[in-house]
């Protein structure tokens, strides 16, 4: 039995009854001589979790033994021992009995209310320890061999490093069961468990019946949980072999908590917390298509088209009851109207219920198709695992149950149909889809054009005709192309090309042409135009005009010959062009630009994506901040609002502050954090996501922090800036950078303070612990362009639902 976090060292400290706070040392262990009484608290080694007695209501005499997060403001119970047998009063004792088991008793009762009921050698060879994973483990003190652990008997909460599923060797089936209510931890009516039949799946049951099928494992997520796609906060590991069928979550970022909770109405919710309270990450089932068999056999559920009946028969099938279908009741499903002679691909779907599916992990996709074609009863096939180009073969040989389609995720399912149906339905579907999407795009573009016209009416910003831009860029020729970023390409317009009377005084200008496949949609484009139209500062890129016609979205702005800052500071050859004086000038210019956005403009603006690739350099190497697609106005012209929340966290990992990445809270201090990272990158000449072989491994900020604490920060400064680099000024800038990247937003200076610190030599405060100093294997790197004159916002980190 593997127990994460279990070490050989043990602290034997007497529990301190009724005390909880800094300065008190708690026991993390129960021994035969040291039981836990009601009023005592057991705290894990790093004080992450606590074990003790609790009641759900202030005036309730019902007492339970449970585990909860020790430092989260609202008590969050994650495990309950005696959930169905509460104690009556405060006379409970949790102790090691004569058989070496952990037992819960009352002073006036001889019969235990709860026991681990494990096979133990003797009482003197047992002790229970609370680990920093939240796992309560009964172990042999000499061999450290685990005898029993709470992770094998979860209640309603799934913790990181806890496995759900079957352990065939130990004969265990680990699953979640809801509380009866928020005030009663007794076993509720809902269960979250892995069904091992066929090809294993995760199910949410209510009253023993399937309520929501989370689906089969696709290699990175359950097929019915698109929100589960791995990110830099946590990832999941699925194991399916002769010993076990399990799923396990692992956190990859320190100082962050994450839990999955099953609640009695039949809802599964994931929450994250960095110490300031829980934030809901996702909640399901909540939509019609989430519920099991919302649409009956051989049909699929689709919520992508508003006002359309969500149930649709699969190609080659028709409603079993036309009357029910007309009344928008799809529960009866569909029946085949013709035989099958070929296959049609259904893209981005939640594959059907795999309880009766057949799996062969040795077959390729081509072999899978051949196997299905040979068997007349085979109705559909797909890959078992969608990663690495597809692995294994899944086939169905009967009705296809509980399918739905997604907008931008999902697997490809190959459905058996006859040739006539295939041709007819594909033609009809293509026409309908094209017509609908054309209407939607036209409506959005017309609305955007009207809004942009209103927003820019009193500015110098002009709407430019597409034909003019095509002519000026020689039809977007390669010879005019300056570079390419995540959101599209940038083109140079030569001197002498005129837009409405030689716009921009005949000077060189650049055209940013957004790709129709880019992540920046019409809203981000509109946001960038309307914000930049209201701004004017020497350290901000000047936008001259824009174009929205058909599927084209373009920005016309001043041409900056020295491209983006990242093309210089991260290039060993080009970096020699920058001495310390020029680097310091760039740092101060960027700081002045951010200060203008935060304080000196008539609107308080938070950029939200400040990084080296979003700072452009003019012919004198003077910095100008660009890319305002993700910027947000807060507080209006009154300027009294300093922070806001968002449902959609966007930006580049490595530059994002912890409160923004984890909770969706962005503020002026979020930009300060990004500036701090950028300042340190300029001084050191490496990206923040550079990995250093420290113990534990760290990124650039983490490595610098360790050097700072040892008084060796100057060792990491880029040597290409020359021998005349003023050490005191560089060291001061390093300290300012570390002040900007402190973990808590309240500790960071505002930009007016940063500008003041850069401009004088007064005493600086000592920085506190920075955030995100450890490297994680699942973190996405900043893939900013190193060629384009303007860059894009490449990485969407996470979606935070429910704010």
Binding residues: 512
CA angle 212-218-222, nearest 5°?
25
Which residues are within 8 A (CB) of 141 and not within 5 positions of it... i.e. 6 or more apart?
A: 10, 31, 125, 126, 127
Longest dimension (CA), the chain: 97
Q: Which two tokens stand for residue 396?
A: 């169905």
Report the side by side order of strands in the sheet with 244-251.
Answer: 172-174, 163-167, 244-251, 234-240
What DSSP designation does 290 have? G
CA–CA separation, 602 vs 620, rounded Å? 28
CA–CA separation, 377 vs 397, rounded Å? 5
Q: Three-state DSSP class for 471? A: helix
Q: Which two tokens stand for residue 290?
A: 């989430």
Task: With CA atoms as reference, report the closest residue to 363 among 379, 383, 389, 345.
Answer: 383
Q: Given 240, 249, 353, 609, which residue is catalytic?
A: 609
φ and ψ at residue 85, rounded to 5 degrees: -145, 70
Q: Is 609 a catalytic residue?
A: yes
| Residue whose tokens read 């609305």 | 447
418, burial (CB in 10 Å: exposed 0-12, middle 13-18, buried 19+): middle
Torsion of CA 488, 492, 498, 499, to 10 degrees: 20
Buried b (16+ CB within 10 A) or exposed e, 547-568: bbeeeebbbbbbbbebbbbbbb
Task: With CA atoms as reference, report the closest residue to 264 among 174, 156, 365, 175.
Answer: 156
Q: Which two tokens stand for residue 636?
A: 């209006």
CA–CA separation, 741 vs 660, rounded Å? 13
CA–CA separation, 271 vs 273, rounded Å? 7
Torsion of CA 735, 739, 740, 741, to 10 degrees: 100
Please list the active-site residues: 609
């Amino acid at each position: 039995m593997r127990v994460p976090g279990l070490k050989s060292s043990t602290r034997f400290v007497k529990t301190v009854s009724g005390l909880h706070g800094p300065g008190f040392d708690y026991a993390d262990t129960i021994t035969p001589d040291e039981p836990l009484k009601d009023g005592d608290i057991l705290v894990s080694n790093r004080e992450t979790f606590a074990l003790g007695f609790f009641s759900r209501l202030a005036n309730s005499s019902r007492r339970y033994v449970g585990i909860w997060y020790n430092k989260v403001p609202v008590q969050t119970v994650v495990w309950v021992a005696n959930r169905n047998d509460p104690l009556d009063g405060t006379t409970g004792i949790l102790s090691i009995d004569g058989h070496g088991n952990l037992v819960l008793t009352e002073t006036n009762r001889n019969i235990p209310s709860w026991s681990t009921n494990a096979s133990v050698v003797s009482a003197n060879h047992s002790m229970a320890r609370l680990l920093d994973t939240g796992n309560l483990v009964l172990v042999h003190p000499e061999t450290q061999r685990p005898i029993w652990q709470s992770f094998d008997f979860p209640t309603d909460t799934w913790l990181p490093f806890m496995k759900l599923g079957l352990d065939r060797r130990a004969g265990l089936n680990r699953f979640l069961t809801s509380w009866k209510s928020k005030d009663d931890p007794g076993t509720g009516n809902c269960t979250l468990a892995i069904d091992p039949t066929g090809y294993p799946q995760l199910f949410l049951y209510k009253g023993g019946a399937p309520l929501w099928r989370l689906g089969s494992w696709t290699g990175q997520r359950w097929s019915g949980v698109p929100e589960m796609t791995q990110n830099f906060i946590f990832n999941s590991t699925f194991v399916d072999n002769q010993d076990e069928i399990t799923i396990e979550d692992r956190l990859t970022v320190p100082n962050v908590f994450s839990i999955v909770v099953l609640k009695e109405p039949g809802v599964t919710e994931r929450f994250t917390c960095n110490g300031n309270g829980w934030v809901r990450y996702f909640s399901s089932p909540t939509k019609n298509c989430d519920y099991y068999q919302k649409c009956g056999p051989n049909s699929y559920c689709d919520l992508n088209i508003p006002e359309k009946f969500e149930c649709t028969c699969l190609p080659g099938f028709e409603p079993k009851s036309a009357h029910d279908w007309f009344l928008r009741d799809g529960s009866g499903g569909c029946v085949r109207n013709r035989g099958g002679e070929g296959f049609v691909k259904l893209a981005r779907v939640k594959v059907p219920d795999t309880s009766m599916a057949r799996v062969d992990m040795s077959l390729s996709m081509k072999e899978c198709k051949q196997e299905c074609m040979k068997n007349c009863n085979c109705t559909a096939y797909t890959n078992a695992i969608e990663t690495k180009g597809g692995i294994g073969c899944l086939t169905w040989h009967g009705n296809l149950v509980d399918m739905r389609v997604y907008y931008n995720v999902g697997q490809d399912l190959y459905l058996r149909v006859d040739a006539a149906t295939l041709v007819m339905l594909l033609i009809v579907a293509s026409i309908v889809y094209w017509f609908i999407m054309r209407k939607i795009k036209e409506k959005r573009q017309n609305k955007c054009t009207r809004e942009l016209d209103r927003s820019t009416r009193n500015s110098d910003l002009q709407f430019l005709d597409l034909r003019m831009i095509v002519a000026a860029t020689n039809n977007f020729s390669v010879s005019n192309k300056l570079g390419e970023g995540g959101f599209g390409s940038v083109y140079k317009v030569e001197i002498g090309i005129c837009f409405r009377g030689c716009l921009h005084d005949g000077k060189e200008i650049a055209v940013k042409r957004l790709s129709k496949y880019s992540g920046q949609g019409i809203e981000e484009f509109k946001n960038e135009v309307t914000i930049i139209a209201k701004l004017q500062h020497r350290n901000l890129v000047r936008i001259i005009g824009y174009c929205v016609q058909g599927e084209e979205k373009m920005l016309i702005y001043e041409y900056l010959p020295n491209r983006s800052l990242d093309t210089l500071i991260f290039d060993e050859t080009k970096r020699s062009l920058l001495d310390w004086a020029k680097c310091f000038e760039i740092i101060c210019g960027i700081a002045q630009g951010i200060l203008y956005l935060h304080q000196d403009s008539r609107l308080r603006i938070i950029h939200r994506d400040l990084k080296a690739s979003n700072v452009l350099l003019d012919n004198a190497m003077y910095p100008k901040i660009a890319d305002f697609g993700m910027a947000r106005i807060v507080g209006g012209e009154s300027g009294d609002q300093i922070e806001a929340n968002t449902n959609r966290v966007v930006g580049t990992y490595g530059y994002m502050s912890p409160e923004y990445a984890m909770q969706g809270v962005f503020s002026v201090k979020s930009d300060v954090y990004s500036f701090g990272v950028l300042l340190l990158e300029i001084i050191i000449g490496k990206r923040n996501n550079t990995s250093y072989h420290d113990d534990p491994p760290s990124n650039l900020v983490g490595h610098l922090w360790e050097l700072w604490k040892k008084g060796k920060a100057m060792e990491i400064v880029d040597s290409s800036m020359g021998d005349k680099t003023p050490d005191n000024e560089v060291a001061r800038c390093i300290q300012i950078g570390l002040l900007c990247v402190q973990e808590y937003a309240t500790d960071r200076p505002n930009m007016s303070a940063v500008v003041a610190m850069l401009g004088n030599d007064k005493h600086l405060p000592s920085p506190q612990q920075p955030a995100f100093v450890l490297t994680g294997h699942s973190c996405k790197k900043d893939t900013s362009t190193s060629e384009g004159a303007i860059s894009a916002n490449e990485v969407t980190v996470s979606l935070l639902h429910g704010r």
